[in-house]
Each structure stands twice: as structure tokens, then as C-alpha cells.
Amino acid sequence: MGDSETSGMDPIVAVQGLTKRYGAQTALDQLDLCLDRNERLAVLGPNGAGKTTLIAVLATLVRPSAGTLRVMGYDSAAAPNEVRRHIGVVAHQTYLYEELSARENLQFFGRLHGVQDLEARVETLLKLVDIYPRRHEPIANLSRGMQQRVALARALVHDPDVLLLDEPDTGLDQAHLALLASLVQGRAIPARTVILTTHNLERALELCGRVAVLAQGRLVYQAASAALDRAALHDAYHRLAGAAP
């Protein structure tokens, strides 16, 4: 495979003209996006702005009506399974089987991904997300916050280069928000490229080096967190989305 040299030059995630229409509705409109290795982007936007659709399209779960998505140089239309190998996804749904335990869930998804040395990997992850003592209990018995942590571990099981997180802070308490931050920022685990959606501006600034605003399917504002003009962001958000962040 000659992907090692191409991935050094290409952006990790490259999106061009991405459009998704549902009948007459346009959920994503001509979206362009580019992320380098270990870059972290927070996508802000009100409900209905297209955040979830964006994550679903990036995750190859929804086919775009137009435009292209490339991950690590692989085209999502031509080599979807290569793209899937390199992405880990946390969404509103946990993707976990209620009847299975946290450990069994991780093992199942690990096997689907062909993870080597799966036992050790699962043990490490269970400890990492602080669920280890309850690893044998069915997911149905765990609280929403615990399920969310297992979902995080699930997304990491195959050590993906790219993390796609759709409002990953859902249900997490203060202590585990810190855990989320350490995972996203690459302190607890090796750093990786991250796209996350949130409607919490402070969290976006804390977690990510870049912030973008999505409104009516378009990226209407983009800036580095450090150089962020809060007034401008607020203004853009307010004007275009009709709601305060």
C-alpha cells in the first residue's frame, strides 16, 4: 500500500462541496472542510443546523447527494471500508447492545474491526473510561453517563486516526468531562484528529484548536480558538442561527 507517503502530504480529512438533500430539504450545502493531522475542530450550531447529518456523512453512514469526502487519502465513495478503518464515531445513540456487557460490546466491535490482541486492548479501554469495575454488567443496567463512556471506548477500540464526536458531553458528569477532555486532547491517549459538535461554546474553545459555526447546512464562520474574536463569533452565530451559543 502506498498510503504512507500520500497520507503525509494529504490532509487527514478533506471534504469538498459536500451536500446532502432530503427531498426538497438541504441539510448540508456545499460544505468544504480540511483537517491536518491531530487538528481538532469544534462545530457549533443550533439544533437543526445539520451537525448530526455532517457527522453521519463523515462517518459514511449517510451518502452525500454531492461532493467528496476523503479520509487519510481514501475516497469514501470508492473505498468506504478503508475510511471506516480510520474513523471512530460517538453519536447520540451509543451503538451498544443492551443485553451485552461493556466488555462483550467492546469485544464484538473489536472483532468486527479485526483488532489484534483484543483482550488486552479491551481491558485497557475499560480502565481508561473508568468502567472496569462494572465491565460484566449488561449495558441496560448502566446509567446514561456510563453508557456514554463505554461508547467512547467503543469508538477507540480500533485505535482510529480520526474521531468524530456528536455532542460527546451528553450525560457526562464533571469528573468525566475532564476524562473526555483528556481523550480528545490526546493526553490520556495518543493525539488524533478530532471533529466534534457541541452547542457549548466554552467547551468548544476548551477542547479544540479551531471553531466553526454551522448554520442551515453551511459553515458560516471559522477561526482558530486562540485568535477567536468572541464578539464576531457571537454576532455570526446570532445573526445566522438566530440563537445565542
Partner 1 sequence: MALSKNAGGARRWVDDVLGVATLIGMVVALWLIFIYTPVELVQGAVQKVFYIHLASIWNAYLSFFIVFVASILYLRRPSAAKDRLARAWAEIGVVFTTITLISGAIWGKPIWGTYWSWDPRLTTTLLLWIIYVVYLMLRGFVGDPERGRRYAAIVGIIGFIDVPIVHMSVRWWRTLHPDPIVARAEGPDLPMSMWYTVLYCIVVFTVLALFLVRQRLHIDELRETLLDLRMTAR
Partner 2 sequence: MKLTLQQVLAIVQKDLTVEMRARDLLVLMLTFAVLSLVIFYLALDLWGPVVQRVGPGLLWLTITFAAMLGMGRTFVREYERGTLAGLLLAPIDRGALFIGKLVANLLFLFTMEAVTLPMFALLFGLPVLRPSVLLITALGTLGLAILGTIFSAMAAHSRAREALLPLLLLPTTVPIIIGAVQATSNAISGAADGPPWLGLLIAFDVIFLTLAYLLFEYAIEG
Contacts of 117 (CB under 8 A, 6+ apart): none
Binding site for partner 1 (CB under 8 A): 22-24, 63, 65
Residues in the interface with partner 2 (CB under 8 A) total: 31
Cβ contacts of 120 within 8 Å, gap of 6 or more: none
Residue 85 interacts, among partner 1, partner 2, none and using kind-specific CB cut-offs from 5 to 8 Å, with partner 2
Near partner 2 by CB under 8 A: residue from 14, 34, 77, 100:
100
22 binding partner (options partner 2, partner 1, none; Cβ < 5 to 8 Å by kind): partner 1
* Residue 134 binds partner 2 (CB under 8 A): no
List the single partner that 179 binds among partner 1, partner 2, none, CB under 5 to 8 Å by kind: none
* 25 interface partner picked from partner 1, partner 2, none, CB below 5 to 8 A per type: none
Inter-residue contact 20 to 53 (CB < 8 Å): yes
Q: Which residues bind partner 2 (CB under 8 A)?
A: 56, 59-63, 81-82, 84-85, 87, 89, 91-100, 104, 108-109, 111-114, 138, 154
